[in-house]
Structure 1
Amino acid sequence: MRRLTALLAGCALLAGCGLDAGYKLPFDVGPGSIQPVPELEGVKITVGSKNFTENILLGYMAEVALTAAGADVEDLTNIQGSPSNRQALENGEIDLYWEYTGTSWINYQGQTDPIPEEQAQYDAVKKADEEQYGISWLEYSPVNDQYAFATTREFADEHGLKTLSDLVALLKEDPSLGTFCLESEFIARQDGLAGAEKTYGFDVPDANIKTFGLGTIYSTLAAGNTCNVGEVFTTDGRVLTLDLAVLEDDQKTFPQYNAAVTVRNEFLDTYPQVADVLEPISAKLDNETILELSVKIDGDGTDPAVVARDWLVEEGFVTNPGD
């Protein structure tokens, strides 16, 4: 029943994603190693993103870079849910957004078995999306934002938890400890809760699941009075700022989730220069960088667009005319 409820909620989101108004960057951007590209001058490019910190940050990196290249960029970041972003891309409501290899492989292409090696997973996703769905993948980033389960540091230390297998063993001894804070999308996804239950041989009763928005899960979990286990992303800065204990996925239930820009084939065929602008940025990123930048957003409260610009300035991709 919980999966049906989550899927129905996802359908409601698809009908009301708010894709009717876009915004511009709130600051000017100058060229750096990214120079104006004549073929992109004045070209309207609409950039989307999912509604969590890392993906919003990546979306703004693309916006800042493309603006420096001369494009007329429209901001449609913070679209709720992965299916909504994918649908917006396929329908032409956005021109590009950062997706994750495992998400596309399991949720859009309907595969059940993830490919354990990063390059092989990327190659398979890229081939299938180009041939079957008309979507191109730019080169993938070392950023690998995997799902994980986490607890408070105190709970992990008290019960000797280091791995998901440790957690499952604990819950078999005392099922009352198995209270979970999860988002509806994770509950419904085959690469989310369902896959973990199958791989590790356990089942979370509906009564033990508390459903929250992803951003709320971190703070609720850290508070320690609503749930003992929560869904997190391994590259989310709140793991550090809230000192959460991420449990090792020792039986490898969660796929590889390398981030890459996705764009419709025809759009990339028309403007192949987009890849020249964005792929060097993708190659420069890694999990450590994303964690540090996410802390600036979630820990310090800095606007993600500003964090994206400042990092691109620091790396020499763009310049800040205000400096």
Structure 2
Amino acid sequence: MKLSSTILLFLTAFYLQAQNRISVGSKHFNESYILSEIIAQLLESNGFEVIRKTGLGGTTIAFDALKNGEIDVYPEYSGTISTEILKATGKSSLEEIESSLHKEFNLSVSRPLGFNNTYAIVLLSSTAERLNLKRISDLQQH
């Protein structure tokens, strides 16, 4: 089971405070679009001019846009940052992720946004009964 908090990935706060215009990006799936719009509206309600750059693509494209200054912030999963961006082989704490991002890319992360992306397997009850599935480990027989 994968547990991954959603956090914001952004350029250091010093950079963001130096300007009144912030570019908010998103990856190309619904949750990312929604979260980036929430971020944009929050920034606008606090006096920032927001440039929306949504639907950029996958992780690599969005992260490269952030590193290259094309966007200033976008929502990302901590697990994706750990495995896809930082290439960690084990589970990383938020503190480890933040330290590595700052050290390698001069980037910062927010606190978790208060929800996570925990995966589950969904199937019909009749299928589970027919295959005698009670635990995920029971799938290895099939």
Q: TM-score range with shorter-chain normalisation?
A: 0.7 to 0.9
**Partner Cα separation in structure 2 for residue 81 and residue 51 of structure 1:** 6
Deviation at 1:159, TM superposition (A): 2.2
Question: Paired residue for 2:111?
Answer: 139
On the 8 A contact 1:149/1:164 being kept in 2, the answer is no
Deviation at 1:162, TM superposition (A): 4.4
Q: Which runs of 5+ in 1 are unaligned?
A: 1-38, 116-120, 171-323
**Partner Cα separation in structure 1 for residue 134 and residue 20 of structure 2:** 50
How many residue pairs match? The answer is: 125
Secondary structure, aligned partner of 2:32: helix
Secondary structure, aligned partner of 1:114: coil
1:162-173 residue pairs with structure 2 within 5 A? 162-170=134-142
Q: 2:83 matched to 1:106?
A: yes
- Alignment equivalent of 1:57, drawn from 2, 14, 34: 34
Q: Percent identity of the aligned residues?
A: 27
- Alignment equivalent of 2:121, drawn from 147, 150, 157: 150
Question: Paired residue for 1:66?
Answer: 43
**Partner Cα separation in structure 1 for residue 132 and residue 24 of structure 2:** 44
Secondary structure, aligned partner of 1:150: coil
**Partner Cα separation in structure 1 for residue 87 and residue 133 of structure 2:** 33
Q: Which amino acid aligns with 2:116?
A: N
Deviation at 1:132, TM superposition (A): 1.3
Q: 2:51 matched to 1:79?
A: no
Deviations 1:66-92 (A, max 9, x none): 111121111112222111111110011
Higher-Rg structure is: 1
50 and 162 in structure 1: CA distance in 2 versus 1, 3 angstrom threshold: farther
Deviation at 1:47, TM superposition (A): 0.5
1:88-237 residue pairs with structure 2 within 5 A? 88-115=65-92, 121-146=93-118, 148=119, 150-153=121-124, 154-170=126-142
Deviation at 1:140, TM superposition (A): 1.7
How large is the RMSD of aligned CA atoms in angstroms?
A: 2.2
Deviations 1:88-108 (A, max 9, x none): 100111110011111111111
Q: Which runs of 5+ in 2 are unaligned?
A: 1-15
155 and 81 in structure 1: CA distance in 2 versus 1, 3 angstrom threshold: farther
Deviation at 1:142, TM superposition (A): 2.6
137 and 169 in structure 1: CA distance in 2 versus 1, 3 angstrom threshold: same
Deviation at 1:155, TM superposition (A): 3.2
Secondary structure, aligned partner of 1:152: coil
1:2-81 residue pairs with structure 2 within 5 A? 43-81=20-58
162 and 69 in structure 1: CA distance in 2 versus 1, 3 angstrom threshold: farther
Question: Paired residue for 1:12?
Answer: none
Secondary structure, aligned partner of 2:121: strand
1:247-262 residue pairs with structure 2 within 5 A? none
**Partner Cα separation in structure 1 for residue 128 and residue 58 of structure 2:** 30
